[in-house]
Chain A
Amino acid sequence: MYKQKLWYISIGITIISLVVIMVGFVKAMNFAPVPATGTANSTPQNASTVANEPASSNHNMVHVLLMGDSIAKGTGDEKGKGIGGYLVDLLKSQTPKDIKVDNVGVDGYKIDDLDALLKSGKQDSMISSADFLIIAIGSSDLQEIQSLKDQEQTFQTKQDTHIMELKEIVNKIRTLNKKTQIVVIGSYNPLSLATTSDNITYLDTWNYNSQLVLANDDKATFIPTYDMFKNNLNRFISSDKLNPNSTGYQTIAYLISTAVENTLDKP
């Protein structure tokens, strides 16, 4: 009896399944994608715009935007947090607001790339909504000089473009957002050996001139890092011998949070 029942149930299931499956198979065979005609309930936007909503209108949110090279991105941090991650932790104790971090840092970015990115206008909405704009750029440009023979000459031209483009970047940011706090992270020397006095002079001159760009802007801060890294290379540099490690990023984030502390609304 039980066997008989099982047989009929199975036949029933089989027949129903087969019918459904046939329908599905025929559907799949005849499936020819028809161009979308707004079947989904929305209006397509320009595909190149990035999704994040501007947060400028939101007064209960601190919006931090990181731009620039691998140091902005957080490459080398074994905990994957980067400056942004540690900064959130530090700012949380300083403000009751929510903190939102956007990171558009890209490994190996040079100042040309950043300048082009800003000129393209793709990041305009994010820049105009940012309360803090953290820029780390120029390390790759500076790095290149080391391997060259005609260092003096190249350094001069490179520094001139760097300064010029940094000015352009700051100006562009200021036209979009007058209130944002700009933080520029200085370059450090990641190499413990290649420290001839010439090289150090280049680094110092480079940092000094970058700092001068921000001198007249009272909402811009230059955070030097070479001093912190100088004697702490084995503690602060990650295994790629170039980018900071977790402790290094933590230190930079700490410097930034201390520098901008007073510009936040206190709890």
Chain B
Amino acid sequence: MYKLVKNEFYKMVGKKRLYITLTVLFVMIAAFAYGQYDSLNRTKAQLAQRLGVTVITDWKSVVGQQILDNKARVDSPYQDEDRRVQARVRMEQSQFNLDNNINTVDLTAANFTTKIISQSMSLFLPLLMILLAADLVSGEMGGGTIKFLLVQGIPRWKILLSKYIALLGLEAVVLFFAFVFSILISGLLFGYGGWWEPVATGFKIVGGKLDTSNVAFVAQWEYILMAFGLAYYVSVVVGTISLMISVLVRSSIASLGIILSLLVGGSQLTSYMVSWNLPRYLFTCNLNLMSYISGSLQSIPGMDMAFSVAVLAVWTIAAIIVSFVYFNKQDILV
């Protein structure tokens, strides 16, 4: 088994797939870091111009202005009710952060990492994992190499299991690099600190108002730890489903296409979840686990961490069962 996993690992590394994934990751993180850096500077410059001072040094004045802007939105009679609620919640959240001396304006390596990992959790990270997993089996079918594997007399389930284990390992490696890249790049721009700063979590919205009674403070490093824990869970789910599709479909291109369109199309269903119950049972609508920790601004009744984790777990287990059963029974004619 050990040898099989090792062999699968070499195959995945040898295909350069891993390096492509890591390069994409690096480029995206660099671009995101620069974007954040640029927009922060721009916000500050604009505010400085509006207030008539040369430079903004104090993050509190930025938050103060954000509060005033949102307050104007809340008071405006031309806003529709949804926007007004959003603005009010944002205003209350900024006010809360301000009152509790939590700096959400200035960036550090630590809070940048949290930001990028929680924002990429529902789409970008799954895409990377698909890149790794989508042609794991279908690639061998298409290339005809599957017969060399099968003629060795090893049980089929062992072959698939070794692929699966190698995949899970590489997903962890990718996340490791996501962390390293993010820290290295953002540290250059924002400095390497911020690990002990508090993060306010657990915001809730009750009847269009922000409920801060459950808010807890977590240190940034703990928050990052949780983010990566959830990110890996999401990666495993997406990886497993990709593996299943790659078992079911013989062409690599087709399996990549199917899983991509499932992910992208499915995530667009998220917007219907408030009124329609079905999409919440799709895996794509449950990937944004981090929002349960940070306190999601548009919470949907009946959806919480336990629900989403359970839905994802059901999908994963089902995908594993389907993959192994189908792979065992499949006729392989190459």
Contacts and interface: CB of A to CB of B under 8 A. Distances in A.
Interface string B176-216: 10000000000000000000001011100000000011111
A45 B99 contact: yes
Interface in B89-139: 92, 95-96, 98-102
A29 to B, nearest CB: 7
A36 B6 contact: no
Contact of B228 (A21, A39, A40, A100): A21
Interface in A122-155: none
Nearest to B222: A27
B226 A28 contact: yes
B64 A14 contact: no
A41 B13 CA distance: 48
A105 B52 contact: no
B176 A13 contact: yes
B78 A107 contact: yes
Nearest to A92: B52
A52 B52 contact: no
B27 to A, nearest CB: 21
Chain A: interface size category:
35 or more
Contacts of B226: 24-25, 27-28, 31
Contacts of B64: 50-52
Interface stretch (A4-12, A177-185, A246-254): A4-12
A99 interface: yes
Interface stretch (B28-36, B148-156, B229-237): B229-237
Given A33-B201, A100-B52, A107-B77, A23 B169 contact: no
Nearest to A47: B95
B101 A40 contact: yes
Interface string A44-60: 11010011100000000
B222 A100 contact: no
Contacts of A16: 176
A18 B170 CA distance: 11
A-B residue pairs, 4 tightest by C-beta: A24-B229, A33-B202, A25-B229, A51-B64
Given A29-B305, A40-B217, 20 more contacts: A3-B10, A13-B172, A18-B172, A21-B175, A21-B232, A23-B225, A24-B226, A27-B226, A28-B226, A28-B229, A40-B101, A47-B95, A50-B71, A51-B64, A52-B64, A85-B50, A106-B72, A106-B76, A107-B76, A109-B75
